[in-house]
Amino acid sequence: MLDPPTRTTILKLHREGHAQRFIAQILGLARRTIQNVLRSGSEQPQPKPRAQKAEPYRERILDCSSAAGATRCGYTRSCKPREQRSPTRP
């Protein structure tokens, strides 16, 4: 992800009339990156909305992990307390 000053520079150079290829060369970026910044037209990248897949199960996960005394609880596995491993060295 590009930092805001770089995005600002890209937009400024484009407003001054410089070609995308020239901007890419002087900044050392791919032309596709320049195109994406110009297409967004924003100095700040827009965050992509992400679905919270685990949110419907949040309460169950927290209840399960705290009831079992688990320090870790896998999302796809059932909650189990961590087992102590015995040393394997003779």
Per-domain boundaries in the chain: 4-40
Residue 86 predicted with pLDDT over 80: no
| Cα(82)–Cα(69) distance, integer angstroms | 9
Backbone dihedral region of 32: left (phi > 0), alpha (psi from -120 to 50 degrees) or beta? alpha
Residue 71 predicted with pLDDT over 80: no
Q: In this predicted structure, what is the pLDDT of residue 1?
A: 75
Q: In this predicted structure, what is the pLDDT of residue 89?
A: 67
3-state secondary structure (DSSP) of residue 88: coil
The string of pLDDT tens digits covering residues 5-61 is 999 999 999 999 999 999 999 999 999 999 999 998 888 877 777 777 877 887 887
User: Positive or negative CA dihedral for 75, 52, 40, 5?
Assistant: negative
Q: In this predicted structure, what is the pLDDT of residue 11?
A: 95
Residue 77 predicted with pLDDT over 60: no
Describe the crossing of helices 4-15 and 20-27 by its angle, rounded to 10 degrees: 140
| Cα(31)–Cα(37) distance, integer angstroms | 10
